[in-house]
A and B are shown apart, each in its own frame.
Chain A
C-alpha cells in the first residue's frame, strides 16, 4: 500500500512502507521510472529513499491537489498492472557492481577499532565486509553518496561522536547497519575501513552520472596496495 503527503511548497512524498526491504526497494525503482515517464512535464525531481519517493514539481505548472490526483491514478494503475510480477522480474535484473577496496592500515584509520568492537581480527572484519552483498537504498549527503545496507551485525559500530572535518575521496565507511564510499572529500562521522580507487561521481560530466544507483547490488573486493595504485587510487590526503 501507499500513502501520499505534502512535504514542501513544491513537493509531495509517497510512503510505500514502514521499513525497507528488497520488495519495497524494487517497487520504488519501478515507480521512479514510471513517474518520470508519465509526469515529465510536471515534475522537476524524483527522489527515492529507503521507503519513500518524493516528487518535486513547479507551482507554475500544477498544485498540491493536481499532483496528488495524478499520482493516485498512477499508483492505482501500478498496483493493478501486477506490480508484484514486475517487481519479481526486476529483482533478477538488478545491476551488480564490484568495487575494489584496499583495506591497508594507512587508509583505514578505524579498522582496528572496528575489529575490537566486533571481537574479531582485522582479517575477519575484512572478510565479513567483503563477503556481504550490499544494496543501494538511497543517494544523498553529497553528490553520488550511496547509502548501502546492510552491514553484518558484528560490524555495526556506531558513528563517531565527533565527525572528522575531512574524510578523503574514496573512503570506504560503515556506521551502524549502513555502508558507503565517500564520492568526494567532505566532513564525515562514519568509521573508515578502507579506500576505493574507483570514481563514484565525476562532476565534469554533463548530464551528471553516478556509478551507484538505487537498487544496485554491491560487493567490495579486497585488492592489495599495488593493485589499488594501478587502478588510480590515491593514498595521501
Chain B
C-alpha cells in the first residue's frame, strides 16, 4: 500500500516530472519532463530509482513536505538550503527520512529548479506513459489529468523503500549555476536564410535571460538581429530549437514547447547544454558558440546511457 506525503508548503511552481511523454507529438502533445535532466537524473540515481521515476521539480521554493513513513530521499539541482526536521542536509545526496519527518526547502540560492526524488518514485497515475506535468496542456499532475502545480495539503503517493545505502554525487558531477553560460548551437533548419551579419551578431553578442521565460521557452534579450527572415510554413519544433520572431530576439524552446511553429530557426542548442539553461535566472548572461551534431549526439548518448544504466524499466 502506498503512503502519502503531505505538501505543507507548495511554493510558487512545484511540478511532478519525469523523463517526459513521447509518442504523441503528432497530436500536439508536448514532450514535457524535468528541465534539468542532469540534476533530475542524479536525484533518481542516488536512490537506485529507474531513470524515468517521477520526482518533484521545485521552482525557486520555498517548499515543505512531510513523510508519514520512513523512506529515503535525494536532493539535487538548485541550492535550496534543504533541511530535515530543522537540520541542514548535504545537497546532491540521498538521505534517510524518519516516519513523520518534515523536509523543507528555502528560496533557491543559485539556479532556479531544485529536484527532490523519493525511493521508488512518486506514484501518481501516469498519462500516456508519463507522469510529467505540462500545465499548458493540463496533463499529468497529482491525478494525472489536472496538470496543475502542487498545492498545499496535496497528498503525494510514494512507493515502498526497498532499502539501500546513502550516497553523494561525486564532486565533479555536482553543479552550481551562477556562472555565465556558453551554449553550443548546431546550425540547422533555416540557418542559411539568416544573413551573414545576423549570424555574426548572434554568435558575437552576450544575451540576457528575459523575465518572461518559462518551461515553454527561454526568451533572450540583446541587440535585435537584423534582417530576420519572414515566417515560414509551420513545421515541427522541439526543445533546444532557437527560433527568432520578427523582434529579432531569440527564444530557446524548452521541454513544454509547442509541437509545431512558424518562426525561422537558427538551429538547436545541445541537449546537454539545455540542462544549464534550465537553471538560468532572469538576467543571467548567455552566449552561443557553433557546435556540431556529431558532438551533440555523442554527449546526449553518453548522458542517457549513464543515467539509464542497468536499472531502467525501459
For residue B205, CB closer than 8 A to chain A, the reply is no
Assess A54 versus B235: contact at CB under 8 Å? Given A7-B188, A9-B296, A203-B139: yes
Given A64-B293, A206-B127, answer yes or no on A143-B137 (Cβ-Cβ < 8 Å). yes
Within 8 A of B (CB), among A178-237: 184, 186, 201, 203-204, 206-208, 210, 214
- A-B pairs with lowest CB-CB distance, top 7: A54-B236, A140-B260, A45-B25, A47-B236, A9-B271, A8-B238, A44-B22
- The residues of B that contact A52 with a CB separation of less than 8 Å are 233, 235-236
Interface size class of A (residues with CB under 8 A): 35 or more
- Contact among A8, A18, A140, A201 with B234 in the assembled complex (CB-CB below 8 Å): A140
Query: Are A207 and B128 closer than 8 Å at their CB atoms?
Result: yes
Contacts of B28 in A (CB 8 A): 139-145
Of A32, A45, A186, most buried by chain B (CB within 10 Å of CB) is: A45
Assess whether A6 is in contact with B188, with CB atoms less than 8 Å apart: yes
Cα distance A60–B239 in the bound complex, in angstroms:
18
Chain B residue nearest to A186 in the complex (CB): B136
Min CB distance, A183 to chain B, in Å?
8
List the one stretch of B156-164, B165-173, B298-306 in contact with chain A.
B298-306
B241: chain A residues within 8 A (beta carbon) = 7-8
Q: When each residue 236-277 of chain B gets 1 if its CB lies under 8 Å from chain A and 0 otherwise, what string results?
A: 101111000000000000000011110000001011000000
Contact of B233 among A49, A186, A204 (CB under 8 A): A49
Nearest CB of chain B from residue A60's CB, rounded to whole Å: 6
Q: Are B236 and A13 in contact (CB under 8 A)?
A: yes
Q: Do A208 and B24 touch (CB < 8 A)?
A: yes
Q: Is the CB of B26 within 8 A of A47?
A: yes
B251 CB to nearest chain A CB (Å) = 15
Tell me the number of A-to-B contacts counted with CB atoms below 8 Å: 134
Distance in angstroms from B262 CB to nearest chain A CB is 9
A7-B268, A8-B240, A208-B24 are known contacts. Are A50 and B136 too (CB-CB below 8 A)?
Answer: no
State A63–B240 Cα separation when bound (angstroms): 17
**Can you list 5 A-B contacts with CB-CB less than 8 angstroms, sorted by A residue number?**
A7-B236, A7-B268, A10-B271, A60-B304, A184-B137
Contacts beyond the supplied A6-B293, A44-B23: 5 A-B pairs with Cβ under 8 Å: A11-B236, A46-B26, A64-B293, A140-B234, A208-B24
Write the residues of chain A forming the contact surface with B, with a CB cutoff of 8 angstroms: 5-11, 13, 18-20, 32, 44-52, 54, 56, 59-60, 63-64, 138-145, 147, 184, 186, 201, 203-204, 206-208, 210, 214
Interchain CB contact under 8 A, B26 and A63: no
Contacts of A145 in B (CB 8 A): 28
Can you name the residue of chain A whose Cβ is closest to the Cβ of B271?
Answer: A9
Contact assessment for B235 and A49 in the assembled complex, using a CB-CB cutoff below 8 Å: yes
The answer to whether the Cβ of B186 comes within 8 Å of any Cβ in the partner chain is yes
Partner of A59, one of B145, B260, B300: B300
Instruction: List residues of chain A with CB within 8 A of the CB of B152.
Output: none
Cross-interface CB contact of A51 among B27, B139, B233, B301, cutoff 8 Å: B233
Q: Is the CB of B233 within 8 A of A7?
A: no
**Given A52-B235, A203-B145, is A208 in contact with B29 using a C-beta cutoff of 8 Å?**
yes
Which of A9, A138, A204 is close to B293, meaning CB atoms less than 8 Å apart?
Answer: A9
Q: Mark B204-240, 1 if CB is under 8 A from A, else 0.
A: 0000000000000000000000000000011110111
Check B311 for interface membership: any CB of A closer than 8 A. Answer: no
* CB proximity of B22 to chain A, nearest CB, Å: 4
Q: Is the CB of B235 within 8 A of A50?
A: yes
Q: B234 touching A147 by the CB < 8 A rule? A: yes
B138 interface hit (Cβ, 8 Å):
yes
Question: A56 and B145: CB pair below 8 A?
Answer: no
Interfacial chain A residues near B195, Cβ < 8 Å: none
Residues of chain B within 8 A of A201, CB atoms compared: 27
Nearest opposing residue in chain B for A20, CB measure: B233
Which A residues are CB-close (under 8 A) to B127?
A: 203, 206
CA separation between A143 and B138, bound complex, in Å? Answer: 10
**CA A10 – CA B234 in complex, angstroms?**
19
- Min Cβ gap A64→B in Å is 6
Q: A9-B240, A10-B300, A143-B27 are in contact. Are A60 and B234 (CB under 8 A)?
A: no
* Chain A residue nearest to B239 in the complex (CB): A8
* Known A140-B28, A210-B27: A13·B297 in contact at CB below 8 Å: no
What's the Cα separation between A204 and B235 when bound, in Å? 28
Partner of A56 from the list B25, B233, B261, B300 (CB cut-off 8 Å) is: B25
Task: Select A60's contact among B188, B271, B305, beta carbons within 8 Å.
Answer: B305
Give the docked Cα–Cα distance between A54 and B258 (Å): 14
Cβ of A204 and Cβ of B22 under 8 Å apart?
no
